[in-house]
Structure 1
Amino acid sequence: MSERVGYRGRPGLAQALAAVRADDTLVVGKFDRLTRSVSDARHIGRWLTVRQQTHRGQQHRSGERTIADLAELFSGSRATVYRVLERRQSAHAPSRFGGL
């Protein structure tokens, strides 16, 4: 996990990001303490976003959250939530062409 996100050699950051749960807010006193470059910031942001979207999708599939609940949590529209859920579902769907 740490190699994909780009915080090699930073075990404290790896531990902090691993401890972040879906509904948590990670507070950092200074931005340069979180990331060493813009590229690292993008990787961390994408990883956290994908992780959050995956968790929200699981909540919806289990019936724990409605589309309206998710729209409120994401501070977005219902259409956006439907689009995100559809995108996540199609990304995990098996290929019609046997993996080609």
Structure 2
Amino acid sequence: MTTILIGYARCSTDRQDLTAQRAALEGLGVAPDRIYTDHGLTGTNKARPGLAQALAAVRTGDTLVVPKLDRLARSVPDARGIADALVARGIKLALGASIYDPTDPMGRMFFNILATFAEFESDLIRLRTREGMAIARSRGKLRGKQPKLSDKQQRELRRMHDTGEYAIGDLAELFTVSRPTVYRTLARQPTVPTKSSASPP
């Protein structure tokens, strides 16, 4: 049975680029059309559509490849949960060029150390962010994050989505935003009732 490599890449903000991670995955033998991504989502986000697609794509005997463990998860429980679920399905997990082997005590210990460092780094980033925001707020420089789309654009995005004629990728391209931004906008905007579904006067 041929082993299929499925890749996963993630970056935390819309301003970051996935090019380097994609190149690393392709360098490890993953076909470009088998790379799933999450753009603008942190590892602590429970809803990671790209990861869900990657986990659904791998089958018994396949290998899920990530450039680094912190791209897959940013907490120890999350990393262990994903790794254990993959092992239970007969799927290998590759961290870069290294295959995670749960039966190897040293390998398991190394995996736990990597997960612990990833969680520590994530906590440290959050702490520094909070401290930076507190300093900016005290200096009157923090006015809140401005929305990427105006209220009118958000309503129009919702209207276009509800027609069923536009995919998420189409809307992201049309409004020049990331796919996660489209999902967040749809979550904030109520469904616009059509004339046929509206109640008669």
Q: Normalised by the shorter chain, which TM-score bucket?
A: 0.3 to 0.5
Which structure has more strand as a fraction of its residues? 2
TM-score (structure 1 length as normaliser): 0.43
User: Whose RCO is larger (CA < 8 A, sep 6+)?
Assistant: 1
Larger Rg: 2
TM-score (structure 2 length as normaliser): 0.22
